[in-house]
Amino acid sequence: MNILKALENLGLNKKEAECYLALLPLRQATAYMVSLRSGLKKSTVYVVLENLVQKGFALKMPSQEKTFYVAKSPKECFLAAKEKMHSAREALPELMAMGNSSIDKPRVYFFEGSAGLDLVDDDILKIGEEILSFTTPQFAIIENEKTHKEYVKKRIAAGIQIRIIGQDSKGVRNLQQKDEKELRQTRILPAELFSSEVKVGVCGNKAFASNYNKKFGLIIEDNDISATLRKIFEIIWESEKIIK
């Protein structure tokens, strides 16, 4: 293995490794001497040598006239790195316990603005599974038409089917007329029974919501929440209240 790479694996960056190698053969050296041997600027070497001291790879020996630096032996540096790894390994069980404690907690992601709404759609499309959604006429009104069309194009290109339930409205009926060519199934509820300003849905283990009026969206990543929302959707999908 390259010596520089070995030192970088111990936690040094490239310039620190170069300065350490320049300092190592010298009994003691000033920043100027290290600069000459390493080819780095003197101003840079001052900073780098201080970093080596902080990281335990060198000692600083101030005197009345000049400040000298001494490189610690490679063996000492490697043993120190080994000790740090040992200490970190001892903390591993506790770290794992902390990580496991959050496994069953839902992960919630919040998005703002029109760009944020696009990110919600893109993230859900990445799952690559059928999407179930309670839609809103706001999804297809003129000011959101461009976003709507781009989303549909991406979904069709990915071959992702979607089923939606929406209120009886011109916007939702327009969607229904294009169901076949847009890989969609649309069912409609009476407006007095169901209306929404927000699109809410589920895909995979993620539930999502998009508010086109207030321009924000969120994703909740949780198996239980997504499973419950999916069951609610399926119950309504088969409801006798659906307009045929």
Tokens of 53: 């001291």
pLDDT at residue 237 greater than cutoff 60: yes
Specify the pLDDT at position 145. Answer: 67
Question: Does residue 77 share a domain with residue 40?
Answer: yes
pLDDT at residue 9 greater than cutoff 80: yes
Smallest Cα–Cα separation from 242: which of 163, 182, 168, 139?
A: 168
What CATH number did the domain enclosing 213 receive?
A: 3.30.870.10
Question: Does residue 128 share a domain with residue 75?
Answer: no
Question: Does residue 121 share a domain with residue 213?
Answer: yes
Tokens of 214: 């207030």
- Average pLDDT over all residues of the chain: 87
Question: Does residue 38 share a domain with residue 119?
Answer: no
151 is a domain residue: yes
Cα separation, 230 vs 232, whole angstroms: 5
94: part of which helix (H) or strand (E)?
helix 92-101
Tokens of 159: 């071959």
Question: Does residue 136 share a domain with residue 40?
Answer: no
pLDDT at residue 143 greater than cutoff 70: no
Angle at 127 between CA 164 and CA 104, to 5 degrees: 100
Predicted model pTM? 0.58
Q: Look at 238 and 100; give whichever has higher pLDDT.
A: 238
Looking at the 3D structure of the chain, how many domains does it have?
A: 2
Tokens of 154: 């991406």
pLDDT at residue 18 greater than cutoff 60: yes
Cα separation, 130 vs 119, whole angstroms: 18
3-state secondary structure of 211: strand
242 is a domain residue: no
pLDDT per residue as tens digits for the range 165-220: 999 988 889 889 999 999 999 999 998 999 888 999 999 999 999 998 888 999 99
pLDDT per residue as tens digits for the range 49-58: 999 999 889 9
Structural domain of 71: 3-86
pLDDT at residue 118 greater than cutoff 70: yes
